[in-house]
Structure formats: structure tokens, C-alpha cells
């Protein structure tokens, strides 16, 4: 996601800033980013626009999670579920893009089987079908109205609440909660006798949440330098993201083995992905043990 002026706006609010009145300054740029990427998808649907839409929606989910203690629980849960639904709508096509990229790279690796010389056209056709479904889902969801309505409703709820919370104290508390959950999941994943994809996925999700919260609240986290933490989280996100990509590709390929010209070609592609998954699993576990 592109840089924006949120951190500057928060810093300008000073020590007396309130969590409630800061919400809109944090949420509005995310809504704008999601809508811009959604428009790009309808115009071109590049892999990058699909990825950036998912990122913006995930950040929105994390922001609503951060403000959960100040919001109606039922409505907050509904909003976060909606962002996940929209992200998943874009995600299915993005999963195809990742699978196609992995298989395209596979034919260039030494030792690759002759079966992987070309990615079957049927897989590209499946990607286009997934894209049509993604576009239709996002159009029917009326994402512009949905996001603007969510921003307006939540801002109103926060700004009319009878109680006020100092932004600095609120932000620090929510970051601590997220960091505690991350440490717990890292311990669980690192102590597993064998690589556990579900536990590693939980670490990835928790790491992203901590990173997003630190990026949201940056200047409000006074007296604490998070530069080193952010650098570590970005490295971890890169490693765990690559693992998640391969895991999703294995699952997607298994669902679509019939699209290959032959059983041998399908199994060769699956073998390559499984080998890559094991490699990524080892890298993720090593990173956890070094933390």
C-alpha cells in the first residue's frame, strides 16, 4: 500500500488526542485505497491490483479489531466479517495468479521435468473465470456504498459515545494485546515437533495485525521505538507470506488436477509445489527459532 498522511495527521493532534476522534483519520485513507484498487480491478485486474485490494481490506479488518473495545460487539464482528468476505472475493483470482507464477517459474528451474515446459492454457482460462466471479461479487456487493457506510456509522458511534479515551494509552494497550497474542502463537508454532501449517498461518496473521497496528498508531506510541519490531515483522511477513502462497497453490492445484493434459503433468506440478512447500516450511520454522 502506498504511503499516506495518516501518521502526520496523528502526530499533529498532539498529546491530547482521543482515540474516538482519530478513527476517521485512520480509516478514510484505507477506504479510499480499497475503492481505488477495486476500480483498477474492473478496468484491468492486474495481479498487483488484486493483491493491494486484499491488503487494504485486511488493514480495515485490523483497524476495526483495534477499536473493538469501543464499539458494539455485534456490529464490529459483522463489519470485520464483511471485509473478509470482500477480501476473499478478490483472493480467489489472486490465488490463481500465484499458482500460475509458481508454475511458470518451475519450468526454468534446474531439474524440472519436461512436463513443466509450459503452463496449460486451461489454467489461464480458469483464472479468467475466477476473475469474472470476483468482479461480479464485488459489483453486487456495492463496495463503495458498503465501505462509506461502515466508515460513517462507526465514526458516528465513536464520536457520540459518552466516554473518551486518550489515544496514546488506548493505542499502547491494543498493541500490547496484539503482541501478546503473537508471542503465544510463535511459541506454539516453534515447539511443534513437525511443521504445522495451521500454527504457522496463525503466526502470519498475528504478525500482520501487530505490524498494521504499529503503522496505524505510530506517533501515538510515545517513548517506544518500534523501528526494529517493524523490520522484523516485515521480514517475517515476507517469509510466512511465501509459505502461505505455496500452501494455497497446492490446495488450488489439487482441486483442478483435471485441467492438465495428462495425469503425469498434473502430478509433476503437484510434486514441485510440495517440494517448494517443504522448503518454505523449513525457512519459516528457522525464522521462528531465531526470534
Give a three-class secondary structure readout of the chain.
CCCCCHHHHHHHHCCCCEHHHHHHHHHHHHHHHHHHHHHHHHHCCCHHHHHHHHHHHHHHHHHHHHCHHHCCHHHHHHHHHHHHHHHHHHHHHHHHHHHHHHHHHHCCCCCCCHHHCCCCHHHHHHHHHHHHHHHHHHHHHCHHHHHHHHHHHHHHHHHCCCCCCEHHHHHHHHHHHHHHHHHHHHHHHHHCCCCCHHHHHHHHHHHHHHHHHHHHHHHHCCCCCCHHHHHHHHHHHHHHHHHHHHHHHHHHHHHCHHHCCCHHHHHHHHHHHHHHHHHHHHHHHHHHHHC
User: pLDDT tens digits for 258-268?
Assistant: 999 899 999 99
Q: For position 8, what pLDDT does the model report?
A: 44
pLDDT at 248 over 60: yes
Q: What is the pLDDT of residue 117?
A: 64
Q: Regarding predicted confidence, which is higher, 165 or 51?
A: 165
- Tell whether 219 is covered by a domain: yes
For the entire predicted model, the pTM comes to 0.87
Please, are residues 157 and 71 in contact by the beta-carbon 8 Å criterion? yes
* Residue 232 maps to a domain: yes
Distance CA 281, CA 242 (A): 10
Query: How many other C-beta atoms lie within 10 A of the C-beta of residue 59?
Result: 25
Proportion of the chain above pLDDT 90, given as a percent: 61
Instruction: Spell out the residues 6+ positions from residue 14 whose beta carbon is closer than 8 angstroms to its own.
Output: none
Dig out the grid coordinates for 46 from the structure.
Answer: 492486474
Question: Residue 160 — very low, low, confident or very high, per pLDDT cuts 50/70/90?
Answer: very high
Residue 1 has pLDDT above 50, yes or no: no
What is the Cα–Cα distance from 106 to 110, expressed in whole angstroms? Answer: 9
Buried b (16+ CB within 10 A) or exposed e, 84-111: eebbebbbbbbbbbbbbebbeebeeeee
Residue 126, pLDDT > 90, answer yes
Share of the chain above pLDDT 70, in %: 89
Across the range 178-189, mean pLDDT stands at: 93
Distance separating alpha carbons of residues 9 and 23, to the nearest angstrom: 11
Per-residue model confidence (pLDDT) at position 135: 86
Worst-scoring range by mean pLDDT, 23-32, 60-69, 279-288? Answer: 279-288
**pLDDT band, residue 196 (cuts 50/70/90):** confident
Domain that holds residue 190: 16-290
Phi, psi dihedrals of residue 163, rounded to the nearest 5°: -105, 150
pLDDT band at 225 (very low <50, low <70, confident <90, very high): low
Beta bridge partners of 166: 18
Q: Is residue 114 part of a domain?
A: yes
Residue 134 and residue 128: Cα distance in Å, rounded? 10
| Integer Cα distance of 280 and 27 in angstroms | 34
Distance of alpha carbon 266 from alpha carbon 285, whole angstroms: 29
Residue-wise pLDDT tens digits, 51-77 = 899 999 999 999 999 999 999 999 999
Give mean pLDDT, residues 18-45: 91
**What mean pLDDT, rounded, does the chain reach?**
87
The pLDDT assigned to 41 comes to 84
Mean pLDDT of 154-181: 94
With respect to residue 237, please indicate whether it lies within any of the assigned structural domains. Answer: yes
Which band of pLDDT confidence, cut at 50, 70 and 90, is reported for residue 185?
A: very high
Contacts of 164 (CB under 8 A, 6+ apart): 18, 19, 20
The CATH number given to whatever domain includes residue 31 is 1.40.20.10
Name which residue leads in pLDDT, 13 or 182: 182
Higher pLDDT, 211 or 196: 211
Grid cell 483495534 — which residue?
66
* Res 110: pLDDT: 46
Domain tally for the chain? Answer: 1
What is the pLDDT, as a whole number, of residue 58?
94
| Banded model confidence at residue 83, pLDDT cuts 50, 70, 90 | very high
Q: Is residue 7 part of a domain?
A: no
Please provide the distance, in angstroms rounded to a whole number, between the alpha carbons at the two ends of the chain.
26
Does 193 score more than 90 pLDDT? no
Looking at the domain assignment, is residue 116 inside a domain? yes
Q: What cell was used for 282?
A: 523449513
* Whether pLDDT at 109 is above 80: no
Residue 10 lies inside a defined structural domain of this protein: no
Please identify which residue in the block is written with the cell numbers 461479487. 137
Q: Is 157 a residue whose pLDDT tops 80?
A: yes
Structural domain contains residue 236 = yes
Amino acid at each position: 500500500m502506498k504511503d499516506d498522511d495518516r501518521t502526520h495527521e496523528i502526530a499533529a493532534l498532539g498529546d491530547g488526542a482521543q482515540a474516538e476522534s482519530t478513527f476517521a483519520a485512520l480509516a478514510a485513507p484505507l477506504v479510499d485505497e480499497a475503492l481505488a484498487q477495486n476500480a483498477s480491478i474492473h478496468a484491468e485486474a492486474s495481479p498487483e491490483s488484486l493483491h493491494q485490494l486484499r491488503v487494504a481490506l485486511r488493514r480495515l479488518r485490523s483497524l476495526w479489531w483495534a477499536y473493538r473495545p469501543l464499539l458494539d460487539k455485534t456490529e464490529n464482528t459483522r463489519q470485520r466479517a464483511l471485509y473478509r468476505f470482500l477480501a476473499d472475493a478478490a483472493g480467489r483470482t489472486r490465488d490463481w495468479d500465484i499458482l500460475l507464477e509458481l508454475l511458470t517459474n518451475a519450468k526454468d528451474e534446474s531439474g524440472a521435468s519436461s512436463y513443466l515446459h509450459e503452463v496449460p492454457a486451461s489454467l489461464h482460462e480458469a483464472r479468467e473465470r475466477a476473475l469474472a466471479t470476483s468482479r461480479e461479487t464485488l459489483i453486487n456487493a456495492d463496495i463503495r456504498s458498503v465501505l462509506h457506510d461502515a466508515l460513517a456509522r462507526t465514526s458516528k458511534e465513536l464520536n457520540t459515545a459518552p466516554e473518551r479515551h486518550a489515544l496514546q494509552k488506548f493505542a499502547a494497550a491494543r498493541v500490547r494485546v496484539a503482541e501478546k497474542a503473537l508471542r503465544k502463537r510463535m511459541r506454539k508454532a516453534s515447539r511443534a515437533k513437525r511443521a504445522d501449517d495451521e500454527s504457522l498461518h496463525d503466526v502470519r496473521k498475528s504478525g500482520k495485525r501487530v505490524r498494521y497496528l504499529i503503522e496505524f498508531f505510530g506517533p501515538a506510541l510515545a517513548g517506544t521505538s518500534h523501528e526494529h519490531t517493524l523490520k522484523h515483522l516485515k521480514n517475517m511477513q515476507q517469509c510466512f507470506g511465501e509459505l502461505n502462497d505455496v500452501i494455497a497453490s497446492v490446495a488450488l492445484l489439487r482441486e483442478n488436477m483435471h485441467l492438465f493434459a495428462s495425469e503425469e503433468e498434473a502430478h509433476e506440478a503437484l510434486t514441485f509445489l510440495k517440494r517448494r512447500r517443504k522448503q518454505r516450511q523449513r525457512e519459516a520454522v528457522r525464522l521462528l527459532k531465531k526470534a
